[in-house]
Amino acid sequence: MTIYTNIDMDMDTRIDTLGEAKIESPIAKELNGSRQEIFKDDNERVLIELEAKKITEAIQEGTTPPSFELAGPRKKIYFDPSKLKCALVTCGGLCPGLNNIIRSIVLELYHSYGVRHIYGVRYGLQGFIPEYQHDVRDLSPANVVDIHEMGGSILGSSRGPQDIEAIVDCLERMNIGILFMIGGDGTLMAASKIDASIRQRGLKISVIGVPKTIDNDIHMVSKSFGFDTAVDIATGAIKGAHKEAEGYPNGIGLIKLMGRYSGFIAATATLAQQDVNFVLIPEIDFDLEGPNGLITKLQERLAQRKHAVILIAEGAGQKFFESHKAEYDPSGNIKLHDIGLFLKEQIQKYFAARDMEISLKYIDPSYMIRSLPANSNDHVYCTFLGRDAVHAGMAGKTNMIIGHWNDHFVHVPVPLTAGRRKHVFAGNKLWQTVLEATGQGSLVNP
C-alpha cells in the first residue's frame, strides 16, 4: 500500500526515443488482424494523481494533469529483430524475482520478436570492464526455462560504480542495441549516465531499466518485485518469534527485517501477521527509555501479557550510533550499524539491572529472504515487468523504467525516479493501521 502526498502537477513524464519506429511488429504479423487491442499507443496515458479535487484544480488552471505512458506492445518497432543484439545485467543486492525477470525478458525477445542474440553480462557492471575478465553468457529459452525456480541471479551481481565510458565502449564493441538493467536506485542513476554517454556519442542504444529493491522504496513506482515475497517470508519469522515469546515467562521475540531507508516490509508484514506489538522503522523516531520509550513500554507490556514481539527495520534507530565514524559500502551507501543486536543488548542490560528475568529470542532472516525464489504473486508480476521492458526497448524507447502505477504498467522516465526514495509517512493509512494493530502509540518522550 502506497500513499503519495504533494505530487508535482508539473512533472515531466515524457519518454525519450531513439527515432521513429517504422518496422511492423512481428506480433502484429502473427495476430494477422485479430486481437489488435493488445497494442498500445503512446497517447494512451495513466493519470498519476487520482484525487478528483486536484485534477479539477489543474484543469481549471489550464494545465494537463500529469500522466504516464501506458506500457505494452506497439504496432511499429524501431529495431530489426533479425539484426538486433541485446544485453541483460543484474546489479546490487540479491532479491527474489531476479531470475524471473531474466527469464521473462529472454522468452519475450526470443519467441515474440524473434531476437536470437541475447547476452547476459556477468557480475553486474563489472562484467562490462575488461580488467575483471568476466565472461558473457548466451541466453536462450533452453537455458532460462527453469531458472525462476531458483533464488539469486544466474548472472550474478556486484556493487559499486564502474567507469561509464568503459561500459559504453563495451556496448559499442558488442554492437548491443538494447541494454536491460535490473537494479535499484544506484543502478538507475548509472543507467541515466550510460544513456547520456550513448547520446553524446550519437549511438542508437536503448537503455531500459527494471526497478529492483526488496525494500519497495523506488520513487514513483507503487510496488517493486520481490517485496511480496519478502513480506510473505517475514510473516513466518513473526509466527516463530511469537510462539517463542509465548512459550516463556517474559518472553520477547525480536526480529530484524530489511528496510534501509523505508519501512514498508516491516509495516506490511505487521499487518499480514498481527502478532507484533512494537514496530520500529527508519521514518518514525523512537526513544529507548523515559515515559514513552520503547523499553519502558515493553516493560509495561510484559507486566500485562507476559510476552511481546518487536519488529525492527534495519535502518531504524541509527541516531543511537551518531558518535560512531561513518563508513560506506562500494556503492557509496552508508554502512548501517546493527540496530537489531544493539537493541537486543540494551533490552537485556535494562532488565538485568532490575533483576527481572526475560527470555529474548533474536531472529534475523534478511539474507535468507533476499536469496529465495519469488513466490507466485511476484512471479506473475515479474512476467509483466520483463515483457513490457522488451516491448519498450523494441519500440526504441530509452532512459526509462517499467513501473506500476494506479493498477497499470507504465513507462517512467529514469530522471523522474533516480536519486529519490518513497517513504512510509506518519499520517498515511499504512502507518496509522499499524499503530491500530499494535497499539504501541508514540515511542517518543514528550
* pLDDT tens sequence for the chain (446 residues): 444 445 777 789 999 999 999 999 999 766 655 566 789 999 999 999 888 888 888 888 888 899 999 999 999 999 999 999 999 999 999 999 999 999 999 999 999 999 999 999 999 999 999 999 999 999 999 999 999 999 999 999 998 899 999 999 999 999 999 999 999 999 999 999 999 999 999 999 999 999 999 999 999 999 999 999 999 999 999 999 999 999 999 999 999 999 999 999 999 999 999 999 999 999 999 999 999 999 999 999 999 999 999 999 999 999 999 887 778 777 677 889 999 999 999 999 999 999 999 999 999 998 889 999 999 999 999 999 999 999 999 999 999 999 999 999 999 999 999 888 999 999 899 999 999 999 999 999 98
Cα separation of 70 and 175, whole Å?
29
> The C-alpha cell of 91 is what?
546489479
Residue 293 is assigned to a ligand binding site: no
Dihedral (Cα; 192, 169, 147, 394), 10-degree rounding? 60
Cα separation of 433 and 444, whole Å?
19
Residue 35 is assigned to a ligand binding site: no
Residue 317 is assigned to a ligand binding site: no
Give the CATH class of 16-224+372-417: alpha beta
Q: Where are the domains of the chain?
A: 16-224+372-417, 230-370+427-438
Residue 369 is assigned to a ligand binding site: yes
Residue 151 is assigned to a ligand binding site: no
Q: Which residues are catalytic?
A: 215
> Could you give the angle at the alpha carbon of 112 between the alpha carbons of 205 and 40, nearest 5°?
75
Cα separation of 89 and 96, whole Å?
16
* Domains 16-224+372-417 and 230-370+427-438 equal at CATH topology level: yes
Q: Model's pTM, two decimal places?
A: 0.93
Which CATH architecture describes the domain 230-370+427-438?
Answer: 3-Layer(aba) Sandwich (3.40)
